[in-house]
Structure 1
Amino acid sequence: MTQVRPGLSERTASASPCRPPSTTSTLSDGIGPVWHRADASVAVLTAHYAHLVGRPDDVELRRWLVTRLESINDPRREQYLQLLAVVNGWPAPKSLTAMFDWSIQALRVRAPQWRGGREAAWGERD
């Protein structure tokens, strides 16, 4: 049985928040984030996160997801993880920058009603 932090369900703890199933294959297949062929992957991505956080797959979730992915896509984070690997003798982690860039652009291009405007943090209007 998986050891779960208080407040997290076993489902949330065991899921991979960084790599929903079809996003990585779409990226490796060379499908651009603005292409219509990417629509299904974006739907899988948003449904995956909606399930993980227990919220509906709506505009608010997509705004939150873009904000979250942008904050995670900081080059300092990647440098920190590489340094951790060196210090601890772990294998170097693969870069997720291309996946984060693809996901952010794919979400933004499908949300013209809020692209360019200020994106509220989740719960800001609650």
Structure 2
Amino acid sequence: MRPTIEDQLSGARRLLDDVAADAGLSRDSRENLTNVRRLLTQIGRSWAALLPFYVEDNATLTRLLTRHGVPVPDDEPTGFDVAAAATRNAELRAHLSHVVTNVAPGTEARREITEYLVRRIETDPS
């Protein structure tokens, strides 16, 4: 579907480039434009990785929860709906927070959950 998110972000950066070409801009305005362009670039990189991250993380969370006795309904969204995948991810993480509060420190289960959480933080593109 056109325009894609990437197309729109690219268009926004082009518009900002046009504004930045104005010789009458103050130093502060130029700095703000540079920061906004940097932010749009970061969003573009994050956006491309977000859906694959959620799909993989949701599958990992489902396996983890199932191993710890939490029944997880098979409500995984299909297609390219990032918002639905993010909502599902939040639901699964809420289940995990209930599990972790009932897992004793020093157990294999606690270690496994901690490793998952550290890995998630390191790979989250958002």
User: TM-score by structure 2 length?
Assistant: 0.30
User: TM-score by structure 1 length?
Assistant: 0.30
Max Rg structure: 2
